[in-house]
Structure 1
Amino acid sequence: MPLTPLDIHNKEFTRGFRGYDEDEVNEFLDQIIKDYEAVLREKKDLFDRVTDLDEKLEHFKNIEETLNKSILIAQESAEEVRRNAQKEAQLIVKEAEKNADRIINDALSKSRKVMMEMEELKKQASVYKMRFKMLIEAQLEMLKTEDWDVVASDHEEDVYEER
Structure 2
Amino acid sequence: MAITSAEIHNQSFSIDRKGYDVDEVDVFLEHVADEIDALNEQIASLQGQVSDDAFAGFDRPAVIEEEEPAQPEPTPAPAAPAIDESVLAEKDARIAELERQLEAKKADDNAIAQALIIAQRSADEILANAKADAAATIKDAEDEADRILDKAENDRQKVMDAIKKLEEDREEAREEYRDLLSDYITDATRKLAEIGEKAPSASLISGGQHGRYATHVEAPAKPSESAAMTAPQAPLAIDGSDAYDSKPAPVVEPVAPAAGATVAAAPIAAGIEKDFSGYGDAADDFEIDDLD
TM-score with structure 1 setting the length:
0.50
Larger helix fraction of residues: 1
TM-score of the two chains, using structure 2 as the length reference: 0.31
